[in-house]
Amino acid sequence: MTVATPELLTRFDVSGPRYTSYPTADRFVEAFGEDDYVLALKQRHLGSAAKAMPLSLYVHIPFCESLCYYCACNKIITKHHDRADVYLRYLSREVDLHTAHCGSGQIVSQLHLGGGTPTFLSDDGLRELMDTLRRSFTLVAGGEYSIEVDPRTVDAGRLKVLAELGFNRLSFGVQDFDPEVQKAVHRIQPAEQVFALVESARSIGFDSINVDLIYGLPKQTPDSFDRTLAQVNELRPDRIALYAYAHLPERFKPQRRIVWADLPMASAKVSMLSRSLDAFIEAGYVYVGMDHFALPDDALAVAKRQGRLHRNFQGYSTQPDCDLIALGVSAIGRVGATYSQNAKTLEEYYDLLNQGHLPIVRGLALSRDDLVRRAVIMALMCQGELNIESVEQSWLIDFRQYFARELEQLAEMEQQGLVELSTEGVQVTAMGWYFVRGIAMVFDRYLQSDRNRARFSRII
């Protein structure tokens, strides 16, 4: 059974945001700086309700030993692991500056280490980092503590260390098991290696294991990707993240090493996505939303069923909507009604910290309209439904008047079977879940007024 037709997938193959935030990061401005961020931290510290809400922490580790040609992340390629020792010292300074403004011991219920390659850090380096965080924050029992893992950088022994340090969720970067594809993107990792690591992780007792896949890579074909899908279903991770490769060599220099002629045609990408949806649903996975699948008993699938799904800069989360403190070069955070981003280069990041400054270089203070639309977009992205009365009571607006143009666009989507409109609100259909980015885009004021979407990846 096809869960989304190739015709609809092709129709909605347009560029658009992933909505890990609204407004999106491309709207951040340099006029927002350290003073604005410090004010947000102090307001959180003074507000009793905010202090009672758990924090989320994100730590960006930018280092990688080798270059993956498809990568669009902020990373530094180096074999010199001593560079990480210096970086950890600066991370400690950044943590201290945060606690100076918002106090120490604040409760943390979610921690994510991303990159780059977080497992570039040695075991001692990871211990030092976790000691730094625990010195300043309170990581509560039952929280989500996750780390991105390059299978080439760990073995069973290292996985045990991660568990001892308190990590309970792992995300393995697989992308594709096909050797020719791996060679084309400069990331060789045998399937046997990943299978052995997942087996070890299960025996150690990690709560959830995620596997990242990418379709649209060079040398991929629908048939070759079918073989990867079959291997992933045999591996049976708790969660699967399936991303479309966005080829933007003008923005991301590593992608210039990819041979354009080796990239699959648009029709082949659509076929890969359609067949992936079929394969995972038939294997018993729940489509959580926008690129993410989970086994029915995984916390993410449970949160979706119970209407508790949330979304932040790391993607979908089971944790309550909360402030996010972001640490490290280029990291993006959210405190109150503000977004902020750290310096994107190590040189600037280190320089600001040497001067005793938080390394904030840009951000955004959200307007009331931004907050209204964020609430609407996140309701669609996470719950798949929108209750008009609830929005009107929360924001004191006349929904149908405020969103008159948007409702006209949604009426067209209703004819395509993607949403159902009623006097009570908007309901995303089972088919519409596969195009939820496109539905959310209707409420994006910035995108509607600026139709130049070249800055974004394609939805499909």
Annotated binding site: 58, 64, 68, 70-72, 115-117, 148, 175, 187, 212, 246, 332
Q: Give binding residues for [4Fe-4S] cluster as ranges.
A: 64, 68, 71
Taking the C-alpha atoms of residue 346 and residue 383, their distance in angstroms, rounded to an integer, is 38
SS3 105: coil
Taking the C-alpha atoms of residue 57 and residue 53, their distance in angstroms, rounded to an integer, is 13
Q: Give the pairing of strands 315-317 and 310-312.
A: antiparallel
First to last CA, the chain: 20
Q: Which of 15, 54, 96, 2 is nearest to 451 (CA)?
A: 15
Q: Pinpoint the alpha helices (H) of 142-265.
A: 156-164, 179-184, 191-204, 222-235
Q: Give binding residues for S-adenosyl-L-methionine as ranges.
A: 58, 70-72, 115-117, 148, 175, 187, 212, 246, 332
- Decide: 129 and 91 in contact? Cβ < 8 Å: yes
Taking the C-alpha atoms of residue 50 and residue 45, their distance in angstroms, rounded to an integer, is 7
Q: Which residues pair with 63 in a beta bridge?
A: 76
Q: Which of 121, 92, 29 is nearest to 328 (CA)?
A: 92
- Decide: 342 and 329 in contact? Cβ < 8 Å: yes
